[in-house]
Structure 1
Amino acid sequence: MTEPKDIVLKESEEVEGVPIEGPWLDDVSSLEEVLDYYERIGFQATHLGKAIEIWKKVEEKRAKGEEVRVFLGYTSNIISSGLREIIAWLVKEGKVDVIVTTAGGIEEDFIKALKPFILGDWQVNDALMREKGINRIGNIFVPNDRYIEFEKYMIPFFERVLEIEKERGKPLTASEFIYELGKYMDEKL
Structure 2
Amino acid sequence: MSKTNEKLPDLLAEAVLKGSSPVPQGLVKVDGINYSKPEATDMKASDLINSMKKMGFQASTLGEACEIVDKMRSWRGKHIDELEEYDRKGSFDENGYQKTTIFIGYTSNLISSGLRETLRFLVQHNMVSAIVSTAGGIEEDLIKCLAPTYLGDFTLSGSTLRDQGMNRIGNLLVPNDNYCKFEEWIIPIFDKMLEEQEEYVAKHGKDCLDANTDVDSPIWTPSKMIDRLGKEINDESSVMYWAHKNKIPVFCPSITDGSIGDMLFFHTFKASPKQLRVDIVSDIRKINSWSMEASRAGMIILGGGLIKHHIANACLMRNGADYAVYINTGQEFDGSDAGARPDEAISWGKIKVGAKSVKVYCDATVVFPLIVAATFANGKPLLKPEETD
TM-score range, shorter chain: 0.5 to 0.7
Q: Identify the residue that residue 186 of structure 1 maps to in structure 2.
A: 234
Structure with more strand by fraction? 2
Residues 58, 68 of structure 1: 8 Å contact kept: no
Q: Percent identity?
A: 44
SS in 1 for 2:173: strand
1:60 to 66, 71, 96: 71
Q: Which of the pair is proportionally richer in helix?
A: 1
Which secondary structure state, in structure 2, belongs to the residue aligned with residue 70 of structure 1? strand
CA distance in 2, matches of 1:77, 1:51: 21
Structure 1: which 5+ residue stretches go unaligned?
1-29, 33-48
Higher relative CO (Cα under 8 Å, sequence separation at least 6) belongs to 1
Two-structure CA RMSD over aligned residues (Å): 2.7
Contact 2:106/2:133 (<8 A) preserved = yes
Structure 2 vs 1, CA of residues 151 and 95 (structure 1 numbering), >3 Å: closer, same or farther? same
- Other-structure match for 1:177: 225
With over 3 angstroms needed to count, the CA separation of the structure-2 counterparts of 1:124 and 1:157, relative to structure 1, is same
Q: TM-score, normalised by structure 2?
A: 0.34
State the 1:56 CA deviation: 3.2
Provide the C-alpha distance between the structure 2 equivalents of 1:50 and 1:163, rounded to a whole number of angstroms. 51
Partner secondary structure for residue 124 of structure 1: coil
Matches within 5 A, 1:1-189: 53-63=64-74, 65=76, 67-169=99-201, 170=209, 171-186=219-234
Q: Give yes or no for contact 1:75–1:102 (8 Å, CA) kept in 2.
A: yes
Q: Is the 8 A contact 2:75 2:100 kept in 1?
A: no
Measure, in 2, the Cα distance between the counterparts of 1:126 and 1:61.
43
Distance verdict in 2 for CA 1:135–1:52, change over 3 Å: farther
* Residues 1:116 and 1:166: Cα distance change in structure 2 (over 3 Å): same
Structure 2 Cα separation of the partners of residues 50 and 86 of structure 1: 20
Decide whether the 8 Å contact of 1:77 with 1:137 is kept in 2: yes
Gaps of 5+ in 2: 1-42, 46-59, 78-98, 202-208, 210-218, 236-389
Tell me which amino acid in the other structure corresponds to 1:56: E
Provide Cα deviations, 1:7-62, integer angstroms capped at 9, x if missing partner: xxxxxxxxxxxxxxxxxxxxxxx958xxxxxxxxxxxxxxxx97785343131344
Tell me the distance in 1 between the aligned counterparts of 2:136 and 2:72: 33
Matched position secondary structure for 2:148: coil
TM-score, normalisation: structure 1: 0.67
Per-residue deviation, 1:63: 3.6
* Separation in structure 2 between the aligned mates of residue 87 and residue 140 of structure 1, nearest angstrom: 18
Q: SS in structure 1 opposite 2:101? A: coil
How many residue pairs match? The answer is 144
Counterpart amino acid of residue 59 in structure 1: D
